[in-house]
Amino acid sequence: MRFGGVKWSNHDRLTQASRFFPRGMADLSGSWIYEGPAADRLWQKSAIGRPVGEGKLELSPAETMFVHYHRHLDLPTNDWKYTALNQNSMLLQEYSILEALRVPGNKLILSQNMELFSQQIHPMSWAARWTSNTHPRNSKPVSEIRWFHESDKLDAIELHQWIIDVSSSGRIPEVLVVDEELSVVTYHLSSENPLGSFQEHGAIESLANLSGGIASANGLLFPSDDWNIKQLGVPTSGGIHLDSIACEIIQGLNPISEGAMILSDLLNRGLVIRPGFKYGTRWRCYDKPLGEDHAPFLVVLPEDAPRDWAGACLASRLASGVNKIWLHPVGEGNSWNYLAITRPPPDSRWSNPNKR
């Protein structure tokens, strides 16, 4: 892609903060210096663009489209849109994201303009968001924004680090995803710490001390009598069934698979583990004894996780539809963290206004 005279690759779009507008008059595929009577009002009231002199406002291509459609300003030239779209293949998608955020009244400052307020955001963030009743000149942003096309790769490890960094600054990590119809959906990202009520029950030690068992469906069956591992095991007419991942712990395999490491971590967290097949995940996890409440978590194995944002959106929506949180394990040394992608509250679900 090309923006303000600088060519971008698709990967560059995810690291916009490392790019800056040129400071002179850009060509039509880049920023636009607007010198009309609305310049001061656009900046003072709506924090759109970047002041570059008295009565002058530098607008990104997406901001140029926004002020055209929502502030009724003429485009720089009759063929501006054609030229801009030819130079930036993702301009319509970026505009759809900006429109979804700004139409409800949010103030949005693009990463390259944050220096105007002596504030910084994460290098991977595209923009910072202020609520409609605040302004960047006298308050701090409530969230940092990244956006993706539905076909973009889901990089859970990189995302999780972004979440940690943004959350530590007191801001909400927000992701907006745009699809082929230019429809936008919003997600909040978080690092979850799922804990259950069986943390002191020694499930791993109990599994390691099991012996025998009858082979069944890639796992083992054990007698139901005196079964005391309350966190694991599916009761059947033939006994308690443990799957192949749990059997790695029983057999003392070294090294164990990634799935067995995650299962061990979930058990050590005191969670009750049951299959998650009917929810499209590996496990559903209860934080209380079975029968007391529904399972609040669905956990996917990284090897089975969605590879792009279309899949991640589907998984998160399915989980939210049954009032559960979809978790993607992320390894860090010998420990595991859990990336959650959830739908935000109704008053924070930024989406497109009615299409023209």
Q: Can you give the pLDDT at residue 355?
A: 58
Quick: pLDDT tens for 253-285: 889 999 999 999 999 999 999 999 999 999 999
Q: Can you give the pLDDT at residue 134?
A: 94
φ, ψ (nearest 5 deg) of residue 269: -80, -5
List residues bridging with 236 in a β-sheet: 239
- DSSP 3-state assignment of 308? strand
Of 154, 157, 59, the residue nearest 109 (C-alpha) = 59
Rounded to an integer, what distance in angstroms lies between the CA atom of residue 103 and that of residue 99?
Answer: 6
Q: Which residues contact 117 (CB under 8 A, 6 or more apart)?
A: 109, 136, 137
φ, ψ (nearest 5 deg) of residue 66: -65, -45
Q: Identity (one letter) of the amino acid at 60?
A: S
Q: Can you give the pLDDT at residue 81?
A: 92
Written as tens digits, the pLDDT of the chain (356 aa) is 222 333 333 333 443 333 333 222 223 347 899 998 999 999 999 999 999 988 999 999 999 999 999 999 999 999 999 999 998 999 999 999 999 999 999 999 999 999 999 999 999 999 999 999 999 999 999 999 999 999 999 999 999 999 999 999 999 999 999 999 999 999 999 999 999 999 888 899 999 999 889 999 999 999 999 899 999 999 999 999 999 999 999 999 889 999 999 999 999 999 999 999 999 999 999 999 999 999 999 999 999 999 999 999 999 999 999 999 999 999 988 899 999 999 999 889 999 886 54
Write out the DSSP string of 224-289: STT---TTS-EEETTEEEE-HHHHHHHHT-SSPPHHHHHHHHHHHTT-EEEE-GGGTSSEEEESS-
- Give me the domains of the chain, ranges plus CATH numbers: 2-188 (3.40.1350.150), 203-341 (3.40.1350.10)
Quick: pLDDT tens for 207-245: 999 988 999 999 999 999 989 999 999 999 999 999 999
Joined together, the tokens standing for residue 204 give 């791993």
H helices, E strands: number in the chain? 9, 19
Matching residue, tokens 């970047």: 50
Q: Which residues contact 42 (CB under 8 A, 6 or more apart)?
A: 34, 48, 49, 57, 67, 71
Q: Can you give the pLDDT at residue 52?
A: 92
Q: Can you give the pLDDT at residue 1?
A: 29
Rounded to an integer, what distance in angstroms lies between the CA atom of residue 72 and that of residue 231?
Answer: 61
Rounded to an integer, what distance in angstroms lies between the CA atom of residue 270 and that of residue 161?
Answer: 25
Q: Report the predicted TM-score, pTM, of the whole model to 2 decimal places.
A: 0.87
